Amino acid sequence: MREDDKLLSQKLDYILDHYMSASDVARAFGFKSNSMITAMRQTNNPKVISKLHKDGLEKYFNIPLSIWDKEVTIEAMPTIIQSYQNHQKSTAPPAPF
């Protein structure tokens, strides 16, 4: 497996392990079972996470697209994600009453 593909798989595993449950992902992406989550996690097929998945993770879970950049390490991900989520909260329109 190429290093880029390995890093992509590790990043996906980190996000799935730390920021959501399998049932959260299943609801957000409309998966009928956890088998798609398992397919997304397969290290022998890192291409299974597509641009559409990345966009969905950003929209539903506030996971910024920038974390998928090759230069971003797994160690840097929590800081980047937290900063992005804080920014999203501060710029969100107020909830209607």
Residue 91: what pLDDT?
Answer: 84
In the chain, what is the straight-line distance between the N-terminal and C-terminal CA atoms, in Å?
Answer: 52
pTM of the entire predicted model? 0.73
Supply the pLDDT for residue 41.
60
- Alpha-carbon torsion angle 16, 22, 28, 30, nearest 10: 130
Q: Which residues of the chain have pLDDT under 50?
A: none
What is residue 64's predicted lDDT score, i.e. its pLDDT?
Answer: 96
User: Which residues are within 8 A (CB) of 42 and not within 5 positions of it... i.e. 6 or more apart?
Assistant: 9, 48
The token duo for 42 is 């397969």
Q: How far is it, in rounded angstroms, from Cα 70 to Cα 8?
A: 8
Contact 56, 36 (CB under 8 A): no
pLDDT (tens digit, 9 = 90+) per residue, 40-67?
665 555 555 777 788 888 988 899 999 9
State how far the Cα of 7 lies from the Cα of 10, in Å rounded to an integer.
Answer: 5
Task: Map out the domains of the chain as residue ranges.
Answer: 3-91
Whose tokens are 């593909």? That residue is: 5
